[in-house]
A and B are shown apart, each in its own frame.
Chain A
């Protein structure tokens, strides 16, 4: 499998507290990779370094054959906007916009005309079982519905990599599994690489591969841990 995104022995500290101490990780094109680990292990920091949100203190992050960490913030923002998609635990929807406008937002940011952006956004609503919710605001959606809208927003511009940080963290188990089913199906349909951070084994089970972060280092999951 072609390596799509890769971190090579990266280090990152916050003040005197090291978060990553030489973490190495890679994901192939279309692969769904779960990053697990206990609280404070550095898994979110690793995701943020991979996504170009943070720049590592040492070593390198590569995406599609180009070095990401050496680019400036503006260039990394462009990569994030045009090539990556994001789903967070919650709070990522703009509360004043309707669900459909929230989904269309990445397209509008890329300069696509409003009508076309809304049409493309609309296509995701039946796919994610959100029909009839297009004109609702985030405050009028349930947690599961809001996460599916966020997923649609993350996928609407056909990202090469989708970063999902605890995407089901605020949902009950039924809603969580529903969201994960839709997420993995959409990613596989479009060949999108998914980097999934979770501390729940049943969510990680949706991934093709799982790694665990402990004390700032990445290791493959052993059989016992996987169980």
Chain B
């Protein structure tokens, strides 16, 4: 029987070959997406693992010790990691990616930073690093190909006096996601365990679910045509069991072919896929690897699942020994299918109020992920019932034959009708949640833009040595600098300044300087010195929308100069060159300071990290096309299955437009109905999450969201419309004649057998 099944599958004529290729291609696409998802997860893990060495912490004296000071710098919005190194022993440990320590006066740069150094004027970047570029850092030390990292060779005397410098005697290999405690990974580099859980949860819910639906849809392509063949086999005496074996073999052959192609596709497309910044940074190609378990899961799981799906599908068709197939009309879905969705909403609405979760990401995941899973599963379970209700309403009211046929077909098998758009429904839910959550969080955390395009600032209280007159002169001389203001500190003053709901200690600032740095605010008329919030941007200026006219301080400009400085604020013309030049001057004055934030950086410092937004973008951009593939496979499969009914309708004079209307409505009705519910569920679930965790009300998701939703709906309709040429071709008069002939021949066979 197995041999017969193979022969029927592989030598069953042109139609069987086309069917096999079609299913194999669809499975290849689905299994390929599955491989990419699994490799992406592995890639995130591998990338995260390469942050481990940067966490290396101080140790006691050792024969392998090295002085080590890791700081952070910024260039054009990108973070540069800077590690100052000096040997503290005869045989110091080496960071990964290099074979020798850079000598004092040398530095090694990552390839991305080296490229930046080559293309950027030295006074904007290279001058920040003492010495000259002497080598390139290898990939083993770099989380991503675009990592900007510099290892600076210094003397022991230089590094040991830098604040934050430590002696390291072994390179840490603990990945950020497996840190035993927050204290052990105090630098908070990379993605911690909670972050990884969140990524895996999002990927699992938003990508794997739609991919699996797509694979399941693909394996059901041309199911009705296959059933006709099985009917013919029953006619000549095959038992149900034998037919099942053939069905399983046919499904497995297509799935195996597709899976093999998927592996090929994956390895061919791996290099371009690696350039996609899934979590904000691209991968090295080797990061997108598959574990033996992943390979086994896909290589065995997809064909086995396909065979099982084929056998289950066969149970829904009764084939009599006379070869007559009759669909078993499934029981109509009932309203109880709404219960899981409602339970999900209740879970999200109630549980967070019963358990205090704020700030505990691990418990948040434990509570919210099941809630979101329940809502997503609830949408999938409720979808067929909603489809049934919508189609019954349409069938009762319509006078149009297209709407009547579409409605009756949907009502006849609402599960099948919903299945075709289920991927899009999930994609819309995921998009609604992601966009609403990110937009709302950013709206609440973003400070209104200041009046000056860009200001470079130093001045965390008490950290820096005093601002010298020479430094002020150097900064003032930088092209593009429009004003420099020095904050000063009155040790005898214990005044507090109210800014919104907060109170802050104060610094003093000259009104003449404040005039030249308007982004910092302004003085009252006639004042010579003003109180500004201590820490400047770090505290007060983030809330500049609350107060920009500062209270006058009872000092003259001359008296102000006697107070020690505690901050330097620089206004520029907003150009990147001016900002980076100022950064470079400040870096050289304070080599261990670790970056000089701009107002723009502060304004976005409270918003969601870019990598989370990027993850959301990837999920949205991936899930909608996957859903589109599911819809395309489903519509095309439905057309080929109804070839005879449609072609005979056309033959009797039904216009092609009417049949197109049937196909369009079969997709559009459940899509619009359940999409509305999906979007509402997305908004509702996000609102519950934001209220419970952050006391934020839902903000408008904005035009971008509307554009995404419209794009998804247009994509769906375009996919349906793209099947119209196939519809025209398979329902043409020639096809109808062939269908009649095939039916006639089969009928004769049956009569002969009788």
Contact = CB atoms under 8 A, between A and B. Distances in A.
Nearest to B651: A53
Contacts of B412: 95-96, 137
B743 interface: yes
B740 A165 contact: yes
B401 interface: yes
Most buried by B among A53, A94, A101, A114: A94
Interface stretch (A83-91, A119-127, A180-188, A206-214): A83-91
Given A81-B653, A101-B404, A139-B329, A92 B737 contact: no
A95 B645 contact: yes
A22 to B, nearest CB: 21
Contacts of A108: 399-401, 404
Interface string B235-248: 00000000000000
A82 B399 CA distance: 17
A117 B404 CA distance: 13
A183 B408 CA distance: 28
Contacts of B739: 91
A207 B562 CA distance: 123
A158 B743 CA distance: 27
Q: Is the interface of B mostly helix, strand, loop or mixed?
A: helix
Given A96-B408, A139-B326, A139-B327, A105 B653 contact: no
A170 B652 CA distance: 20
Contacts of B516: none
Interface stretch (A27-35, A72-80, A218-226): A72-80
A101 B408 contact: yes
B732 to A, nearest CB: 9
A90 B654 CA distance: 18
A11 interface: no
A169 B748 CA distance: 8
B561 to A, nearest CB: 90
Contacts of B652: 80-81, 84-86, 92, 106
Contacts of B213: none
A97 B655 contact: no
A105 B401 contact: yes
B648 A88 contact: yes
A135 to B, nearest CB: 12
Contacts of B215: none
Interface residues of B, number: 33
B658 interface: yes
A137 B649 CA distance: 17
A170 B329 CA distance: 23
How many residues of A sit at the interface, in one of the four size bands?
35 or more
Interface in B286-336: 326-327, 329
Nearest to B750: A170
B404 A97 contact: yes
Given A95-B645, A97-B404, A80 B653 contact: yes
Contacts of A147: none
Contacts of B424: none
A130 interface: no
Contacts of A84: 652-653
Interface in A190-215: none
A32 B615 CA distance: 72
Interface string A39-60: 0000010001000011000000
Contacts of B398: 114
Contact of B653 (A77, A90, A94, A137): A77
10 contacts: A85-B652, A88-B648, A89-B743, A89-B744, A97-B408, A105-B654, A108-B401, A108-B404, A109-B654, A165-B740
Interface of B: 326-327, 329, 398-401, 404-405, 408-409, 411-412, 644-645, 648-655, 658, 733, 736-737, 739-741, 743-744, 747
Given A81-B654, A101-B404, 18 more contacts: A44-B737, A79-B653, A80-B651, A80-B652, A80-B653, A86-B652, A91-B740, A94-B645, A95-B327, A95-B412, A96-B405, A96-B408, A96-B409, A101-B408, A108-B400, A108-B401, A139-B326, A139-B327
Interface of A: 44, 48, 53-54, 74, 77-82, 84-86, 88-92, 94-98, 101, 105-106, 108-109, 113-114, 117, 137, 139, 165-166, 169-170
